[in-house]
Structure 1
Amino acid sequence: MATSMAEHHAVRLAHAEAHAALHGLSLTPLRRQVYEAIVASERPIGAYEVLDALQPQRGRVPPTTVYRALDFLLAHGFVHRIESKNAYVACCEVGVPHCSQFLMCDGCGATVEIPGDAFAGQLSHSAPAHGFEVHRQIVELSGLCALCARASRASCASA
């Protein structure tokens, strides 16, 4: 039986809260609400979109407060930053150190995290051969998800 989106979000939040408790991290109400907004988005979400999502619950929140919450979530592996969009997505494996690549749909904005330490290692190990020292690695692939690709082919076929 398929789980509902609400159940999926609740499981992700429970996992994040358990990780925070296990590691003595303070998942304050604001940090929790920011994380919830990112999980609920299902696509990369920017800081100002998070502000908009928080407004019904918290009223006006200063942007610096949300940025501090995002910095905490990023530093402790709850979320990833999508550099090309200046936005955030919930980590698929909170509490498990990993390198990730991201598949991002140009049509609907859906973003899929693909953990891949082996691929990240290959990239990092090839850099010194070119005299390059890697400090941070971000791999973002853009294209069309299956639904958008199918819709694109259908519209081209009918044209």
Structure 2
Amino acid sequence: MNLSKTIKNIRASCNNYIDPNLLAFIIDDDNYMGTNNILEVEGYGINDDDSYEERLLKISKSENIFLPFGMMTFMPIINECDIFSTQDYNLKLSQEEFDLYHDKEEKLFGILIKKDSNEYAIGKTDVCSCSIDASFEKLEKTDSEFYKTIEKIVKEKIID
């Protein structure tokens, strides 16, 4: 994965679900969310004139980074999930899929890039890091329509 090109690709089309300047979240080793205000982060060898992508690349050498690719909302009783990304989806889920993936609140989905690597995991986070228990949760890979849709969106955004 070309991280710089992937970041530019996501930022170019993420307005539907997140502010491009608040795109990436720092995730600690215990999967708890840190800041997403990358333009105000200091240290990591960041210079004032570094672009957003340059700042994020420098941070990613020392920190895990979550890049959201969209937002998902689950609707109980009717077992549906609305996915908002560069394209919107409305999925009818089986009871098993719904039980496995649903959340009571909206969640961002995307990839967690492990520090100083191109290794990533598909998962979800809280919409903001303002809660003390806000965290990243890896999605269990299945052959379900839900997971395949999330994986398709992820693969469309990653640039090699």
TM-score category of the 2 structures, normalised to the smaller one = under 0.3
Structure with the higher helix share, 1 or 2? 1
Structure with the higher strand share, 1 or 2? 2
Q: Which has the higher contact order (CA 8 A, sep 6+)?
A: 2
Structure of larger gyration radius: 1
Q: TM-score, normalized by length of structure 2? A: 0.27
Q: TM-score, normalized by length of structure 1? A: 0.27
